[in-house]
Amino acid sequence: MLEVSQLRAGYRGIEALRDIDLRVAEGEMIAIIGANGAGKSTLLNCLSGVVRATGGKILFDGSDITQRAPHRVSRAGLLQVPEGRQVLAEMSVRENLLLGLLARGLRAARYDLERVLVLFPILRERLQQLAGTLSGGQQQMLAIGRALMGSPRVLLLDEPSLGLSPLITQQVFAVLATLHREGLTIVLVEQNARRALAATQRTYVLDRGSIVLQGESKTLAADEQVIAHYLG
């Protein structure tokens, strides 16, 4: 579904990603972990077209999307839930969700408003409420719901547990597990490495812009190097 080869990217001449190779099969849920500044968010932003690659190639279902504009990437079905949620604060929950339809284009609807509200019941109670008045956890649910309204073929998640309580984090990850069981392909960037390793099948470890480890999540969770550097 997603194939990245020798991907490079940077900011103002400073290299943030170096020769990234990554593969994601259809229906997989993979994790990307690493310390702050390792390049995790830059990698997701490259995949979604927000940051332009300076080298290498990104193939999405066989098509080269390396230099595509973000709106064309999302219309193809590669949708990102950004770090910090970025909901539209002065619009209602319902309006935020319906905006997600813009990314669907002419593709068949995999998720609709009712399905999103079943996944996140609290949003049904808040449909007319301004998004900016929601709690952090509710905004995270709204951001994921908005992406689902675009019927993604691959869902990119950047730090979904950031700033959330353990209870809300558990609820969000329960929804991700449901989506994965239903066959949605998911790429998860997550600072909570233990949570990421427990939730996914395979994991890539980024360090200073390069992939230094990769493998089955269960195996990496028992790796002494991963434990020492990322699990404490």
Do residues 9 and 176 lie in contact, with contact meaning Cβ atoms separated by under 8 Å?
no
| Among 38, 41, 55, 77, residue whose Cα is nearest residue 4 | 55
The Cα 85–Cα 92 span in angstroms is 15
Q: Where are the domains of the chain?
A: 2-231
If one looks up domain 2-231 in CATH, what number appears? 3.40.50.300
pLDDT of residue 228: 82
pTM: 0.94
Q: Average pLDDT by consecutive 10-residue portion of the chain (232 residues)?
A: 96 92 97 93 96 96 96 95 92 96 85 96 97 95 97 96 92 96 96 93 95 95 85 68
State the Cα torsion 143-148-150-152 to the nearest 10°: 120
pLDDT of residue 210: 96
